Amino acid sequence: MDVSQLSPANLGLFAVVGGVAALAAIGVVAFPSAVRSALCLVVNFFMLAFLYFTLNCEMLGITQIVVYTGAIMVLFLFVIMLLNLGAPQALIERRDLKWIGGGIFGLALLVVVGSQVLQPLMKVTQVKSEATFGSPQQVGLTLFSDYVYPFEIVSVLLLIGIVGSILLAKRRMQ
Amino acid sequence: MGWYHHLNPVFQDVLNALGRVLLFLVPVLILVPGCIWWERRFLSWMQDRIGPNRVGNISWSKKSKLVPGFLKGKKWHLRGLLQPIADGVKLFIKEDITPSTIDRTIYFFAPAVALFPAFALGGVLPWGPNRNLTPIADVNIGVLYMLAVSSLGVYGVVLAGYASNNKYSLMGGLRSSAQLISYELAMGMSLACIVLANGSLRLTDMVQAQMAPLWGYVPFLQNWFIFTPFGFVSACIFLICMVAETNRAPFDLPEAENELIAGYHTEYSSMKFAVFFMGEYAAMFVFSGVFATVFLGGWNLLPVRWDALGHSSFVDAMVWMNTYLSPLWFFGKCAFGITTYIWIRATLPRLRYDQLMSLGWKSLLPLATGNFIVVAIWIMLTKVYGPAVGWGSSLVALFIVFGIYRAFMHGPKSKRDLEPRQIRLLDPSPRNVTLVNPEPEVTA
Amino acid sequence: MNGVPLFAYLSLGLFMFTAGVVGVIIRRNPIVIFMCIELMLNAVNLTFLAFARYMPAMIVQPRGLHSATMSGQMMVIFVMAVAAAEVAVGLGIIMAIFRLRNNIDIDEMSLLRG
């Protein structure tokens, strides 16, 4: 790695934000209570949005906050709390032998992917895209001109999701 | 201040940003108690009573040696301006009752999480034309930032309701968050209409665009978006959603005193309740600021374009006032928004929960979507045929959209739903009904 | 932001992905398993955007796509949309199962076991 290209202030900012995100990711897996896992995931998504801002993708970063943190995680918290009303003890788990197997598998995955994929990319520090490539204008132009077919198909998919979730939530007609 | 120029540019930026934050935050923090006072006085004026007007009245004594001569015997009638400070002191020194079965971490953080979006939203509001002073962050995603931060406001409510370990608080919190996410959609859609008409998400660009000639034609009036047809509809929808987003009457079912005790903040006492309270008023203030920026022309005083009126001393004075006294006009528009909030609270009864959800999903969201289509039609026709055809067709399209909405929502079938319920007796023959306890006759 | 190597973003993405995989293996609560799936999807999003910034695809024209430099961000948009739809339907399924059995422990759902 070319050390002269690095900037300590920006590295420090990344370390703080990324460190909180990594700790929150561990928290999602480690907390036995489901509500705490959900809240750790909220913190993780929030920190990821900041990381997207540092990557010059501000449109996607703010979309991350609106969609993931503001809607999907609220939905998760809803479901967890409604189930809490029903069976409060059903959501706390106990420790198991599975943890050891899972831990070994995770470590193996980390080592294998890290050595094969990340090792050749260690020297990349140069930014090759322009600073406005994540602005709303650019994203909108590309999305509605080159990627308009996937856009329409995804909107149909969301419609299917809406219909499906309404059907699942209806009580059975006796 | 030589030391400033010797600093790292990164630290210079940080200090600049801190200064801008203080410039915005300090007036807001001072105005929140003023907002509380104004609410109590204005609400009581509308309810034909006098609000708190005793606290802060000072009668300087006539005989004491500590009072300077010109003050002896005078009375300062502050008309209750210190009432919010008295409320604050009371809330500080009140006993802090914390239930024992709560979830401690979440209980502790929920008021902070509720307060954060209220102040964070002010980070993109421009209160003047000077780019070095305002806004705190001139991001090119300004409008989306507002939507993101207001969607983070759901967490304070949900976490407060959950942490209280109380079924009624939890239900209050869940109902409130369902209300918040429902009205967020219509709010986003109405803002999307304005963004589409404007072409930019940046809030400073939005204020600049409102300084253009009205409707593209009239040279001496400003194009405040509330004066355009689709902007007016957007403004009405945004106003309703704004009131729903801050949990204010008539949408305050989650914190209604007679429905769910106090809803999601039942178990919070003294200082934590004060934090919720302050968060609600700060959110009112900031949302009024958003309304002023997007629809009412931001920091301009009047919808008049002074540079099209020639060069007289009056015009120069007005231009100077518009540029240098702009924070006054911005905060004045915020005060107007807060007065609207209080007025609506004094006038309208509370909505029932199903009425509330039906209004958000079945009325506001289709209207906002129809408005969006109208804006799209306007843009396309203006590009092809010119402004006159554009505005005319947008008015026609608005009427068509509204007609379709009326036909669906208030047509014959739904009128049947509003009729009084008919009770059918098992035996429909008329019966003689005698009272069980007939009135005793008065005997002398 | 300049001066942060690509390796930093990629390693954080890999760490989050591994945490998600371990979570799916270990946890028994289906809602938490769902959340670990979301964690994996977000790790992938971060990787897409990091590559989009540091090593964007060169401008190619296969089948009419004029600019492949924005393809990373487009993928992220679609991943977000698909994840949102998946969460809605999946949580509906979990609620329906809970209503039926009053128990959401994944180790107990073994009806198909021979």
Q: What is the pLDDT of residues B394-409, one digit of tens each?
A: 888 888 888 888 887 7
Q: What is the ipTM, given to two decimal places?
A: 0.90
More confident residue, B369 or A82: B369
**CA B161/CA B247 separation, integer angstroms:** 14
| pTM for the whole structure | 0.88
Instruction: State yes or no: pLDDT of B417 exceeds 60.
Output: no
The shortest C-alpha distance from A109 to chain C (Å) reads 7
At residue B207, the pLDDT reads 92
At residue B419, the pLDDT reads 54
CB contact under 8 A, A82 and B174: yes
Task: Indicate which CATH number applies to the domain containing C30.
Answer: 1.10.287.3510
% of chain C residues with pLDDT over 70: 87
Question: Mean pLDDT over all residues of chain C?
Answer: 86
The shortest C-alpha distance from A66 to chain B (Å) reads 5
Instruction: State yes or no: pLDDT of A40 exceeds 90.
Output: yes
Interchain CB contact of A46 with C (< 8 Å): no
The shortest C-alpha distance from B149 to chain A (Å) reads 8
**CA B332/CA B242 separation, integer angstroms:** 18
User: What digits encode the pLDDT tens for the residues B209-261?
Assistant: 998 888 877 888 888 999 988 899 999 999 999 999 998 878 887 766 555 56
**What subunits touch chain C, counting only 3 or more CB pairs under 8 A?**
A
CB contact under 8 A, B148 and A66: yes
Q: Length of chain C, please?
A: 114
At residue A90, the pLDDT reads 58
Mean pLDDT within A2-17: 84
* Same domain assignment for residues A108 and A143: no
Interchain CB contact of A87 with C (< 8 Å): yes
Of B154, B179, B203, B361, which to mutate for an interface test with A (greatest number of A Cβ within 10 Å)?
A: B154
Task: Pick the range with the lowest mean pLDDT from A81-85, B277-281, B394-398, B412-416.
Answer: B412-416
Range of the domain at A169: 135-174
Task: Pick the range with the lowest mean pLDDT from A59-63, B155-159, C98-102.
Answer: C98-102
User: What digits encode the pLDDT tens for the residues B65-115?
Assistant: 887 878 788 888 888 888 888 888 888 888 888 888 888 888 889 999 999
In the structure, do chain C and chain A come into contact, i.e. share 3 or more CB pairs under 8 Å?
Answer: yes
% of chain B residues with pLDDT over 90: 30
Please, what is the angle between helix B326-347 and helix B229-245, to 10°? 70
Query: A98: nearest CA in chain C?
Result: C26
**B155 vs A2, A67, B83, B114, CA distance in Å?**
43, 14, 31, 7
Burial class of B107 by CB neighbour count within 10 A (0 to 12, 13 to 18, 19+): buried
Other beta carbons within 10 angstroms of residue B238's beta carbon come to: 28
Query: A81: nearest CA in chain B?
Result: B162
* Same domain assignment for residues A92 and A147: no
* Same domain assignment for residues A110 and A155: no
Interchain CB contact of C60 with A (< 8 Å): no
Q: Tell me how far the alpha carbon of residue C14 is from its chain's centroid.
A: 12
Tokens 């005997």 locate to B443
* Same domain assignment for residues A83 and A139: no
Interchain CB contact of A117 with B (< 8 Å): no
Domain membership flag for residue B115: yes
* Same domain assignment for residues A114 and A162: no
Instruction: State yes or no: pLDDT of B303 exceeds 90.
Output: no
The shortest C-alpha distance from A70 to chain B (Å) reads 5
At residue B151, the pLDDT reads 93
What's the total number of domains in chain B? Answer: 1
CB contact under 8 A, C8 and A1: no
Instruction: State yes or no: pLDDT of C61 exceeds 70.
Output: no
At residue B145, the pLDDT reads 94
Domain membership flag for residue C114: no
- Facing A66 at nearest CB: one of B147, B158, B162: B147
Instruction: State yes or no: pLDDT of A174 exceeds 50.
Output: no
* Same domain assignment for residues A106 and A140: no
Range of the domain at C65: 6-108
* Same domain assignment for residues A73 and A152: no
* Same domain assignment for residues A85 and A25: yes
Interchain CB contact of A20 with C (< 8 Å): no
**CA B374/CA B177 separation, integer angstroms:** 30
User: What digits encode the pLDDT tens for the residues A68-115?
Assistant: 999 999 999 999 888 876 555 655 666 667 788 889 999 999 999 999
In the structure, do chain C and chain B come into contact, i.e. share 3 or more CB pairs under 8 Å?
Answer: no
Interface of A with B in 9-28 (CB under 8 A): 9
Chain A residues inside the 8 Å CB shell of B184:
70
What's the total number of domains in chain C? Answer: 1
% of chain B residues with pLDDT over 70: 90
| Spatial contact of B115 and B272, defined as CB atoms under 8 Å apart | no
- Report the first-to-last Cα separation within chain A, whole angstroms: 68
Of A60, A160, A170, A171, which to mutate for an interface test with C (greatest number of C Cβ within 10 Å)?
A: A60
At residue A72, the pLDDT reads 95
More confident residue, B308 or B25: B25
At residue B437, the pLDDT reads 67
What's the total number of domains in chain A? Answer: 2
Task: Indicate which CATH number applies to the domain containing A41.
Answer: 1.20.120.1200
**B190 vs B184, B226, B360, B374, B382, CA distance in Å?**
10, 12, 13, 12, 20
* Same domain assignment for residues A95 and A117: yes
What residues form DSSP beta bridges with B58?
B76
Question: Mean pLDDT over all residues of chain B?
Answer: 85
**What subunits touch chain A, counting only 3 or more CB pairs under 8 A?**
B, C
User: What digits encode the pLDDT tens for the residues C7-40?
Assistant: 999 999 999 999 999 999 988 888 999 999 999 9
Range of the domain at B123: 6-51+94-408
